[in-house]
Amino acid sequence: MRPNALWLLAMALVPTAWGQPHRVVDATGKEVVVSSTQRIVSLDGITTEILFALGVGNQVVGRDDSSYYPPEVLRLPSVGYQFRLSAEGILSLRPTLVIGREDVRPPQVVEQLRAAGVTVVLVPTEPTVQGAEAKIRVVAQAVGRQARGEELVRSLERDLLALEAFKAQRAPKGRLRALFLYMRGPQTLFVCGEGATPVGMMVLAGLENAARGIRECQPMTAESVVASQPDVLVTFKKGLDSIGGLPGLLRLPGIAQTPAGQKGKVVAMDDLYLGSFGPRAGKAALDLFRAAYLQEGFVEVVP
């Protein structure tokens, strides 16, 4: 659809401004003026989680496929997966604010939405504690809930203090080497390293990243798995399910030649819980620490 056509569609469908304007500097470094939060479309699971935690869930009218927490989110229509979006589907929900991660794809969608007159706020994705706090604050400012946002940040900081206290009490003799595998069926297998959000969560939990020299996610090979020699394998629960569970994982090339594969030492966690770095990051890291260091064999972590 051409930009002019998108603009006409948006102008026909978008309601009048509602509420006081909010100003926010988003992940692009530019100030965005949000004139109305009456109808919010969220393009990212953790952003959706933050919106509900801020108390504006009743203003969210659409979500992407990665948004499934809290459970009531599932009643909302989906506009597709955050990396395979179309402007038409989003505009059909008559949004006054579209908000999602900074690397939403394709990037032309953001341009098309803005050309159609829709306010778009992009949220930073840095997989660190500082990144989690920045994420919460950007979303809170975008919807005018700064005070509630600071409450969420303080709650996260309390969880992190509890994590460090627990780690200090149960400090292992040595750090375990952990390898994160991203899987979506036998034909979609990746080894992830520095810069990947789940790997940031592993480091926060006191695990050593076994995928040295790998940036973000790279196709998985037997050589890359064997070379990393992980003590524990970490994966998303949905990913593990997609390859036939633990038996399917242990049959993948190279896995049997690692200490983790030989001991069946695998931690599977809910995708959003492990891979988001949001308000629950401290709790997720503590659960990962417990699963990796205090339990044997296969562990499934359910938040």
**Contacts with 8 (C-beta within 8 Å, 6 or more apart), sequence order:** none
The contacts of residue 202 (CB under 8 Å, 6+ apart) are 178, 180, 209, 234, 288
Residues 144 and 54 in one domain: yes
CA 98 – CA 96 distance, rounded (Å): 7
- Note whether 151 and 206 are same-domain residues: no
Alpha helices in 205-268, H assignment, sequence order: 222-228, 237-242, 245-250, 259-263
Same domain, residue pair 236 and 147: no
Residue 10 lies inside a defined structural domain of this protein: no
Is 4 a member of any domain? no
266-269 and 298-301 beta bridge pairing? parallel
SS3 content of the chain, % helix, strand, coil (to 5): 45, 20, 40
- Do 88 and 1 form a contact (C-beta atoms < 8 A)? yes
Q: Which of 128, 155, 182 is the last residue of a domain?
A: 155
pLDDT tens across the length of the chain (303 residues): 444 454 444 444 444 445 578 899 999 999 999 999 999 999 999 999 999 999 999 999 999 999 999 999 999 999 998 888 889 999 999 999 999 999 988 989 999 999 999 999 999 998 899 999 999 999 999 999 999 999 999 999 999 999 999 999 887 778 999 999 999 999 999 999 998 999 999 999 999 999 988 999 999 999 999 999 999 999 999 999 999 999 999 999 999 999 999 999 999 999 999 988 899 999 999 999 999 999 999 999 988
Domain boundary among 104, 130, 155: 155
Whether residue 241 sits in one domain with residue 274:
yes
Q: How many CB atoms lie within 10 A of CB 175?
A: 14
CATH number at residue 296: 3.40.50.1980
Domain shared by 179 and 141, yes or no? no
pTM confidence score: 0.87
Full domain range(s) for residue 69: 22-155
Task: Based on the fold, state whether residues 91 and 193 are members of the same structural domain.
Answer: no
Same domain, yes or no: 37 and 113: yes
Task: Say how far apart CA 236 and CA 300 lie, in whole Å.
Answer: 10
- Joined tokens for residue 70: 């809290």
Number of domains, the chain: 2
Do 151 and 181 lie in one domain? The reply is no
- 260 and 209 both lie in a single domain: yes
38 occurs within a structural domain: yes
Residue where a domain stops, chosen among 155, 188, 210: 155
pLDDT of amino acid 8:
46
> Does residue 46 lie in a domain region?
yes
Q: Does a structural domain hold residue 257? A: yes
Task: Check whether residue 27 and residue 129 sit in a common domain.
Answer: yes
Domain assignment of residue 214, yes or no: yes
Q: How many residues does the chain have?
A: 303
Q: Is there a single domain that holds both residue 243 and residue 212?
A: yes
**Residue 223 counted as domain residue:** yes
Same domain, residue pair 218 and 278: yes
CA pair distance 16, 25, nearest whole angstrom: 23
- 231 lies in some domain: yes
